[in-house]
């Protein structure tokens, strides 16, 4: 199986078009990683780094800043121009999809084809600028408060000049990332925004392995991780990868019969099936949920403890049971919400009826739509509960094995789920190009199924 994968990888560079797409994508990701090291003007980098080291030592990395830092590819820990990452863009996309579902004018616009989608994408970009500017302004206020950093002076010259500069710089960084993602979508391979998030997550892998080596070394002074604990964590990692692959590729096939009428002959028919994905939303649901829940938590963290808004948002702070309840609810909600957007049982039932198709034992029309909706509701519940379990796994690993959150996040959790999902989607696109040019893909038998197949 490994040799087949290597062969498929080699075949990728034999096709000029595919090779150019892969190299272009890697080049864009390299530009993104380079931008993660360009500092925001007016920041005392040494003092900021000292603050984050203190916080990680106190909380084991299990705080909102560690999660945001992981998704930003380490940019937040250095307060670089890419600190906000693509989360404002994702949040804006969520808002636009919600508004499209409830506002008739936007719904009508979404059905106008390419022109309508282009207009909605433009609204999404405007929303991204607004959200990024708001977050950038709160970050600037947070950086100017020495009491928040234990007396450390993070900003060299506080004031409105610094606030506006920070707000514009961080907003420009997010817009640039959004533009990079769109370029990958147009000329590269894979989903641009998802690949940027994955590249950010994987960039922290060397640091995580370094922490793991310290934990395994009794003389390091960083504590000792028992071999049995490492074996259990590795087992969890393998289980998460296998489970994610099975859930993302799993589908319920609804049999369909198509009538065929031939004059003078008995009525015959053709068999087919409707594939209903167990996890139709894929990584979209967990990315949406993560970006939504981090928004109020981020604002609360940037405000002083005596601020009324900070107190009102404290109930959703990470570590409280309410945080996990809301997080799980958002994941389940977005799994169903995104599934409802990409798969409409009524439309599918109507198309079947128009083409003389029917599900055996089910009447065409409304009863078929109800049946498809019933099946999809049940299998989506399984997929959403699986994602909820994976999402909270790092917290359980961190508490059970006494390891930093950065290490725990690579043995289960959102990072692993997103990475595996994005890699599967990207491999599916690559395999499609290989098969189109009559080359063998990554598997000898069968083929990878896309999330929206």
What's the pLDDT score for residue 167? Answer: 94
Place of tokens 């925004």: 193
357-358 β-sheet, strand order: 268-277, 251-260, 357-358
Q: Is the pLDDT of residue 317 over 70?
A: no
In tens, the pLDDT along 377-408 reads: 999 999 899 888 888 888 788 878 878 777 88
Q: Any idea what the CATH number is for the domain that residue 244 is in? A: 1.10.3370.10
Q: Is the pLDDT of residue 212 over 70?
A: yes
In tens, the pLDDT along 409-441 reads: 888 777 888 888 888 888 888 888 888 876 666
In tens, the pLDDT along 121-172 reads: 999 999 999 999 998 998 888 888 777 676 677 888 888 999 999 999 999 9
Place of tokens 């829940």: 293
From residue 278, give the alpha-carbon distance in Å to each of 151, 209, 247, 284, 286: 51, 33, 6, 14, 15
Say how far apart CA 237 and CA 231 lie, in whole Å.
10
CB atoms within 10 A of CB 142: 18
Tell me the DSSP string of 201-238: HHTTHHHHHHHHHHHH-GGGSS----HHHHHHHHHHHH
State pTM to two decimals.
Answer: 0.79
Q: Which residues contact 222 (CB under 8 A, 6 or more apart)?
A: 211, 214, 215
Q: Which residues contact 418 (CB under 8 A, 6 or more apart)?
A: 194, 197, 198, 201, 283, 286, 287
In tens, the pLDDT along 348-373 reads: 888 888 888 888 888 888 899 999 99
What's the pLDDT score for residue 263? Answer: 45
What's the pLDDT score for residue 58? Answer: 58
Domain count, the chain: 1
Kindly state whether residue 442 falls inside one of the protein's structural domains. Answer: no
Say how far apart CA 193 and CA 288 lie, in whole Å.
12
Q: Pick the range with the lowest mean pLDDT from 289-293, 307-311, 325-329.
A: 307-311
Kindly state whether residue 280 falls inside one of the protein's structural domains. Answer: yes
Cβ atoms of 167 and 76 closer than 8 Å: no
Say how far apart CA 244 and CA 229 lie, in whole Å.
22
Decide which of 22 and 62 is more confident. Answer: 22
Cβ atoms of 298 and 64 closer than 8 Å: yes
In which band, very low, low, confident or very high, does the pLDDT at 59 lie, cut at 50, 70 and 90?
low
The domain in which residue 92 lies consists of 2-436
Kindly state whether residue 89 falls inside one of the protein's structural domains. Answer: yes
Average pLDDT over residues 232-238: 87
Say how far apart CA 453 and CA 447 lie, in whole Å.
12
Q: Is the pLDDT of residue 266 over 50?
A: no
Q: Is the pLDDT of residue 264 over 50?
A: no
Kindly state whether residue 41 falls inside one of the protein's structural domains. Answer: yes
Tokens coding 137? 């302004």
From residue 359, give the alpha-carbon distance in Å to each of 254, 349, 354: 7, 9, 13
Say how far apart CA 215 and CA 221 lie, in whole Å.
8
Q: Is the pLDDT of residue 283 over 90?
A: no
Between 2-12 and 414-436, two packed helices, what is the crossing angle to 10 degrees? 60
Cβ atoms of 352 and 366 closer than 8 Å: no
Kindly state whether residue 68 falls inside one of the protein's structural domains. Answer: yes
In tens, the pLDDT along 87-116 reads: 889 888 888 887 887 888 888 888 887 888
Mean pLDDT of the chain: 81
Kindly state whether residue 453 falls inside one of the protein's structural domains. Answer: no
425-430-433 Cα angle (round to 5): 130
Average pLDDT over residues 327-331: 88
What's the pLDDT score for residue 338? Answer: 85
């Amino acid at each position: 199986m490994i040799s087949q994968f290597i062969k498929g990888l080699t075949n990728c560079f034999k096709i000029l078009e595919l090779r150019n797409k892969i190299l272009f994508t890697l080049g864009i990701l390299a530009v993104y990683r380079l931008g993660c090291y360009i500092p925001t003007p007016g920041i005392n980098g040494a003092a900021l780094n000292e603050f984050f080291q203190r916080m990680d030592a106190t909380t084991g990395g299990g705080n909102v800043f560690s999660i945001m830092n992981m998704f930003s590819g380490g940019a937040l820990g250095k307060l670089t121009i890419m600190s906000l990452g693509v989360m404002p863009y994702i949040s804006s996309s969520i808002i636009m999809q919600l508004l499209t579902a409830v506002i008739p004018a936007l719904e009508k616009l979404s059905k106008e084809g390419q022109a309508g989608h282009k207009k909605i994408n433009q609204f999404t970009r405007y929303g991204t600028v607004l959200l990024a500017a708001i977050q950038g302004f709160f970050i600037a206020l947070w950086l100017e408060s020495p009491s928040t950093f234990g007396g450390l002076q993070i900003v060299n010259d506080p004031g409105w000049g610094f606030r506006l500069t920070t707000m514009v710089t961080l907003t420009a960084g997010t817009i640039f990332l959004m533009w990079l993602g769109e370029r990958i979508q147009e000329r590269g391979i894979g989903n641009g925004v998802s690949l940027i998030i994955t590249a950010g997550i994987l960039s922290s892998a060397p640091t995580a392995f370094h922490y793991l080596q310290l934990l395994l070394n009794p003389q390091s002074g960083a504590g000792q991780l028992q071999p049995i604990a490492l074996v259990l964590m590795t087992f969890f990692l393998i289980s998460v990868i296998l489970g994610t692959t099975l859930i993302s590729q799993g589908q319920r096939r609804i049999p369909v019969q198509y009538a065929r009428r031939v004059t003078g002959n008995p009525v015959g028919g053709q068999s087919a099936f409707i594939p209903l994905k167990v996890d139709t939303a894929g990584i979209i649901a967990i990315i949406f949920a993560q970006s939504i829940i981090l928004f109020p938590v981020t604002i609360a963290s940037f405000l002083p403890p005596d601020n009324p808004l900070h107190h009102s948002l404290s109930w959703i702070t990470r570590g409280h049971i309410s945080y996990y309840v809301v997080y799980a609810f958002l994941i389940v909600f977005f799994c169903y919400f995104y599934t409802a957007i990409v798969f409409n049982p009524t439309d599918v039932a109507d198309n079947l009826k128009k083409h003389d198709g029917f599900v055996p034992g089910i009447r065409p029309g409304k009863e078929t739509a109800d049946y498809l909706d019933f099946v999809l509701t049940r299998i989506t519940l399984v997929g959403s509960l699986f994602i909820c379990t994976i999402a909270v796994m790092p917290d359980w690993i961190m508490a059970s094995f006494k390891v930093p959150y950065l290490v725990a996040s690579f043995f289960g959790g959102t990072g692993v789920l997103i990475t595996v999902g994005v890699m599967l989607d990207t491999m599916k696109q690559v395999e499609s190009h290989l098969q189109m040019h009559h080359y063998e893909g990554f598997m000898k038998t069968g083929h990878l199924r896309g999330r929206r197949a």
